[in-house]
Copies of this chain bind each other. A is one copy, B any other.
C-alpha cells in the first residue's frame, strides 16, 4: 500500500492498451454475476460466458454485471469486444494501481476509485481495493479486486420493486455503488478518530516512546487516505458537472450529495492531520519537559552533596597541625555547618521551584 507503482515496472516499454495485470494476484476464481432489471421484473444469474450477458443488452431494462476478482485477460478482451470498450479502459481495469478518475469515452463512462475497509473489525489494519465501474446507456459493469459484501445492500434494495433504484436508470445504480464506497470512508475515519482521541488522552496523561510510533502510523494512514480522497473529490465533481447524456438531470442532485460527503470527509481528514501535528508538538515538548525534570533532580543532588562532600574531605586531610581537629566540639560544629549549608540549598531550590 505504501509503495505505489511498485509492480508497474513489468509494463515499462509496452504499448498503451497492453493487457497486463498489475497488482496482487488472488488465487480465487473470478465470480461474474448479472442482474437484469426493470420496473416490473428482476433476473439474477451467475455468468460463465460473457456472451451470455450480451444478449440482455438487446432487451429493455438495465443489466448490472459485477466481477468479484479481476477477470482473466481473455475474458476481459471478450468483454471489451462485446461492449465496445477502449483498449485503455481494459488496461486500466487490470492495473489496480490507479488514481481515482472518471473518463468519458462517449458511449460509456469509465470510473475508477479506491475502497478502504478493515479486514477484521477489531484490527486497525486498513486494506484498500480498487473498484472500476463502467456506466453505459443500459448497463453497468463493476469490478472488485476480491469477493466482498460491499454491494450486498444494493442488491437487496434492487429486490424492492417500488424502490427508486428499480425506477431509475443505470446512472442512479452507479450513484448507489459510489455512495456505498464513499460511506465506507466514514467508517474508516470514525475508527481513526477514535484511535486519535485515545492516543491524545494517553499522550496528555503520560507520553511514551511507543506512542510516537502510533502517532506516525496514524499520520501515514492520513497521508494514504488523503492520496485517494483528493482525486476522488475531483472525480465526483467531474461527474456532477458532466454534460454526458449518460447522467440524467435528476441524478445530478444525488451526485452533488456524494460530493458533499466527500468534502465532509476531506475536512475531517484535514482536521485529523492538524490534530496529529498538534499531538506531535505535545509529544516533543513532553520529552523536553521530562529531560528538564531529570536534569533538575541531578542538579539538586549534585549541588547539595558536592559542597558537603568537600567539607567532609577537608577534615579528612592528614595535616599534623589542623587546630579544628583537636577541638572538643569540632565534630559537632562540622555537622552544624553541613546542615546549615544543606538547609540554605533547599531554600534556594524551593525558591527556584526545583524541589
Would you give the shortest CB distance from A299 to chain B, in whole angstroms?
4
Chain A interface residue count, CB cutoff 8 Å, equals 115
CB of A275 closer than 8 Å to a CB of B = yes
A292 adjacent to B289 (CB under 8 Å): no
Question: With A295-B298, A298-B295 in contact, do A13 and B153 touch (Cβ < 8 Å)?
Answer: yes
Contacts of A284 in B (CB 8 A): 284-285, 288
A11 adjacent to B183 (CB under 8 Å): yes
Question: With A307-B305, A309-B313 in contact, do A264 and B14 touch (Cβ < 8 Å)?
Answer: no
B12 adjacent to A186 (CB under 8 Å): yes
Contact residues, A286-331 vs B (CB, 8 A)? 287-292, 294-299, 301-310, 312-322, 324-331
Contacts of A281 in B (CB 8 A): 216, 280
Q: By CB atoms of chain B within 10 A, which of A256, A299, A314, A331 has the most?
A: A314
Q: List 29 A-B contacts (CB under 8 A).
A: A3-B194, A5-B189, A6-B190, A8-B186, A9-B190, A12-B184, A13-B152, A13-B153, A16-B179, A16-B257, A88-B253, A99-B264, A216-B281, A292-B294, A295-B298, A297-B303, A301-B302, A302-B306, A304-B306, A305-B306, A305-B310, A306-B306, A306-B309, A310-B312, A312-B317, A315-B318, A315-B319, A316-B318, A320-B327
CB of A53 closer than 8 Å to a CB of B = no
B312 adjacent to A318 (CB under 8 Å): no
Name the CB-closest residue of B to A324. Answer: B319
Contacts of A193 in B (CB 8 A): 2-6
Instruction: State the oligomeric state as a number of copies.
Output: 5
B319 adjacent to A3 (CB under 8 Å): no
Contacts of A310 in B (CB 8 A): 305, 308-309, 312
The 7 closest A-B pairs by CB, nearest first: A312-B313, A13-B153, A315-B317, A305-B306, A3-B193, A298-B299, A316-B316
Contacts of A186 in B (CB 8 A): 5, 8-9, 12
Contacts of A282 in B (CB 8 A): 212, 216
A278 adjacent to B216 (CB under 8 Å): yes
The distance in angstroms between the C-alpha atoms of A264 and B304, with both chains bound, is 57
Q: By CB atoms of chain B within 10 A, which of A165, A231, A331 has the most?
A: A331
Tell which of A32-40, A61-69, A217-225 binds the partner: A217-225
Would you give the shortest CB distance from A262 to chain B, in whole angstroms?
10
Question: With A5-B193, A16-B254 in contact, do A288 and B291 touch (Cβ < 8 Å)?
Answer: yes
Question: With A271-B4, A285-B283, A303-B301 in contact, do A331 and B319 touch (Cβ < 8 Å)?
Answer: yes
The distance in angstroms between the C-alpha atoms of A213 and B205, with both chains bound, is 11
The distance in angstroms between the C-alpha atoms of A5 and B188, with both chains bound, is 10
The distance in angstroms between the C-alpha atoms of A251 and B310, with both chains bound, is 85
B292 adjacent to A292 (CB under 8 Å): no
CB of A334 closer than 8 Å to a CB of B = yes
CB of A347 closer than 8 Å to a CB of B = no
A295 adjacent to B303 (CB under 8 Å): no
A317 adjacent to B316 (CB under 8 Å): yes
Contacts of A99 in B (CB 8 A): 260, 263-264, 267
Q: Residue A13 contacts which of B11, B180, B288, B329 (CB distance < 8 angstroms)?
A: B180
